[in-house]
Amino acid sequence: MSAGWFRRLIEVVLPTRCSVCQVVGAGVVCPQCLALLQPVGPYRCSRCGRCRTTPYASPDCGECHGRNIGVAAARSCLVYNAAGRQLLADFKYSQRLGIGDELIRQMLEWLEPGLPALYGLPDIEAGIAVPVPLHRSRLLKRKFNQAEMIAERISAPLGLDCRPGLLYRVKDTKPQFGLSPQQRAENMQGAFAVPPGKKPRLKGRDVLLIDDLMT
């Protein structure tokens, strides 16, 4: 039995506390706290994906205007509110994989209409899903890559081929939390690379880069 399935079994057999409100016996997240999760609304920047309260015609916004965001477009499923922040922290750092299962289940419900309808993105032809990799030292400590877990579960319903090995982390970067946009860019400079011999697999392909948190 893998460590991941063992942790899931412990969460099922033993009384668990809700990660957000700490109530006992309601699972890893109770229905009341699950309802606090806020999907990203219909109004967002078409470039960086930042939430807006009203529609607007500009192709970018005040957050990304004049900045190189490194991708054609960025999108997220959830607003990073207090409940989502607590669940994500426990999922990643306390290895409560049951929380990841629940978050992914919610994501699959929200993603059911598909990327074009949901996010205003074109169909991804012959696309591949690539999870953002962890550095090997962090992977040894955490025992799993949360981005890979998400990518493996949502890629097939979206019609994408999940390819975790097409990107690897060259350096162990410090956390992005609390850094300015410029510091974040500098922190991630040269952090990733495509393994030798695998670049042809990416040629001409649409790539959906998947991570648990967009900063």
- List the domain boundaries for the chain: 1-37+79-119, 41-74, 124-215
Q: Is 159 left (phi over 0), alpha (psi -120 to 50) or beta?
A: left
For the chain, what is the largest distance between any 2 Cα atoms, rounded to a whole number of angstroms? 53
Output the pTM of the full model. Answer: 0.83
How does pLDDT run across 145-177, given as a tens digit for each residue?
A: 999 999 999 888 888 889 999 999 999 888 777
Residue 48, classed as helix, strand or coil, is coil
The pLDDT-based confidence of 193 (bands split at 50, 70, 90) is very high
How does pLDDT run across 33-72, given as a tens digit for each residue?
A: 999 998 887 788 888 888 887 877 777 888 888 888 888 8
pLDDT at 209: 92
Place of tokens 């997240």: 29
The token duo for 113 is 């209409």
